[in-house]
Amino acid sequence: MLEKSHKYITCSTCVGRKSSLLGSLCEDEIDHMNDHKACNYYKKHQSLFLEGSFPRGVFCINAGMVKIFQRGDEGKEQIIHIAKAGEMVGFRSMFSEIPYKVTAETLEESNICFIGKDDFLNMMDANPVLRNGIIKELSRELADRADFITNMAQKSVRERLAFTMIILLDIYEKEPINLSREDLANFVGTATETLIRLLKDFKEEGIIEVQTRKISIINKEKLFSIAGK
Amino acid sequence: MLEKSHKYITCSTCVGRKSSLLGSLCEDEIDHMNDHKACNYYKKHQSLFLEGSFPRGVFCINAGMVKIFQRGDEGKEQIIHIAKAGEMVGFRSMFSEIPYKVTAETLEESNICFIGKDDFLNMMDANPVLRNGIIKELSRELADRADFITNMAQKSVRERLAFTMIILLDIYEKEPINLSREDLANFVGTATETLIRLLKDFKEEGIIEVQTRKISIINKEKLFSIAGK
DNA sequence: TGGAAAAAATGACCAATATCATATTTCAAA
DNA sequence: TTTGAAATATGATATTGGTCATTTTTTCCA
């Protein structure tokens, strides 16, 4: 259970911050940010922002996980990214000055801070390291999305599932993957039924272990060879 | 036919530049860039850079068109983007400091200038407008790629073809689309045969007109309604 | 300008995966 | 602990779109 009061979250001690884009801030900047941020406790399935709305700032995840998705024509979600503690979300649309094209929603209870647009842009102006870090991050994500597109376009659902699980392995680290079958299907880009059948195959092939919702990967090598990496 | 000698291309008169990310440069900066750029004439099907190699700078397209693609496991190309006069290519990987994940290759004869990495980064440091323009551009492209992913994941090939043609309409403007069936298939993410069959359907439905290679869109509305926008 | 090579087109067939229907399990609230 | 709803699972079936084989057309260049 997370601490529901947020008065204890301070930027200077935030574990996520240090390894994030905001790791380069000096003490003054951290203090300034700390004074200007607002922290919130989010329950599971709460949204940070909605597709179509205008960005007012950025969100820093102190604890928890957030799915970033788009809704297709029939309302089916396509998950684009899953963000975890230490990551910032919502800044891409803020820079592009267009409404959000994606929705961000917690996958579990989370502590998330908010920094207003002007405060954040000022920090960027004053801090070349932060600025360059952001440019680098945006560029990396573009490269990742190119891979994502090629995978979607050219690979079978089975291969895409393997690829997605490798991504999830990175996100969940030692923890078992804890996503609904539907979310998983919406990340892979397939029907929930197809996903369930493939999970069964993977289980029978000794690639994963399943405990209802939680999926542990027990044969990484096989996963990599299926994904074709 | 393009002028094969490049001595006539100067940044100050470059038509593409003015509407590009480099439109904000002051006279001094333009002169500096002009002194440090190298221009080249490229034939059709020549590459600017290859997947896996390290970026040394950025390319500015003065005239012509360039396809940006990734090669999937069986060597099949997935086109991610088509860049035209006025666009810069190659800077995304340069920022992320990882090798190119994509290959850039001319679709037709082109005049393209090159600016070295250090020169370009210095220009960026000195010019906040340029810097912010690039951040904005990267963010916009991220948003576009999210759409691309959702389309790939959730739409039929027919819908994706319509969507792709809308993108191409933007690129080719008044000109008819001039791409091989294979390139078109590799942009849509389908087999060449499937693409050819769908083009035939579109022709019979009065959406496009085809003159061997060149495709003109004669019913935009229908295209939009198929793409679901 | 002819001829070879590349590109485009067409047909037949099949596999992958979506869809729809229904059953079973899990979970959380009363 | 029960119970109802949501999530997961399974089966049957339909369909899209990929593959392979072949033909026709276009392009390019010697």
pLDDT digits (tens, 9 = 90+) for A69-127: 999 988 899 999 999 999 999 999 889 889 999 999 999 999 999 999 999 999 999 99
If you count them, how many residues does chain A have? 229
DSSP for B65-92 reads EEEEEEE-TTS-EEEEEEEETT-EESHH
CATH superfamily placement of domain B11-145: Jelly Rolls (2.60.120.10)
Looking at chain B, the whole-number percentage of residues with pLDDT higher than 70 is 96
Q: Which residue of A98, A142, A158 is the best one to mutate when testing the B interface, meaning the one whose CB has the most B CBs within 10 A?
A: A142
Residues of chain B with CATH 2.60.120.10: 11-145
CATH class of the region A11-150: mainly beta
pLDDT for res A24: 83
Q: Which nucleotide is nearest to A203 (CA to C1')?
A: D9
Which has more pLDDT, A18 or B89? B89
Q: Is the dihedral of CA A177, A181, A182, A187 positive or negative?
A: positive
Contact predicate A137/B95, CB 8 Å: no
Strand D bases within 7 angstroms of protein beta carbons:
7-12, 16-21, 25-27
pLDDT of residue A112: 95
**Per-residue pLDDT reduced to its tens digit, A170-211:** 999 999 999 999 999 999 999 999 999 999 999 999 999 999
Overall average pLDDT of the A212-216 stretch: 95
Q: A143 and B101 in contact (C-beta within 8 Å)? A: yes
pLDDT at residue B1 tops 80: no
Q: Do A152 and B101 touch (CB under 8 A)?
A: no
Is pLDDT above 70 for B172?
Answer: yes
Provide the pLDDT for residue B3. Answer: 58
The model's pLDDT over A129-157, given as tens digits with 9 standing for 90+, comes to 999 999 999 999 999 999 999 999 999 99
| Reported confidence tier of residue B69, pLDDT bands at 50, 70, 90 | very high
Q: At a CB cut-off of 8 Å and minimum separation 6, what does A71 contact?
A: A51, A77, A78, A103
Write out residues whose CB is closer than 7 A to strand D.
A 180-182, 192-193, 196-197, 199-200, 210, 212-213; B 156-158, 189-191, 193-194, 212-213
pLDDT more than 90, % of chain B: 79
Q: Which residues of B10-43 are buried (b: 16+ CB within 10 A; e: fewer)?
A: bbeebebbeebbbeebeeebbebbbebbebebbe
Interface test with A, best of B142, B144, B157 (most A CBs within 10 A): B142
Please give the CATH topology (third level) of the domain spanning B155-227.
Arc Repressor Mutant, subunit A (1.10.10)
Residue linked to tokens 């957030």: A66
A95, A140, A152: residue with CB nearest B136: A95
Would the pLDDT of B18 be above 90? no
The boundaries of every CATH 1.10.10.10 domain in chain B are 155-227
Residue B7, pLDDT score: 55
From-to residues of CATH 2.60.120.10 in chain A: 11-150
Per-residue pLDDT of A4-55, as tens digits, reads 555 568 888 888 888 888 888 888 888 888 898 999 999 999 999 999 999 9
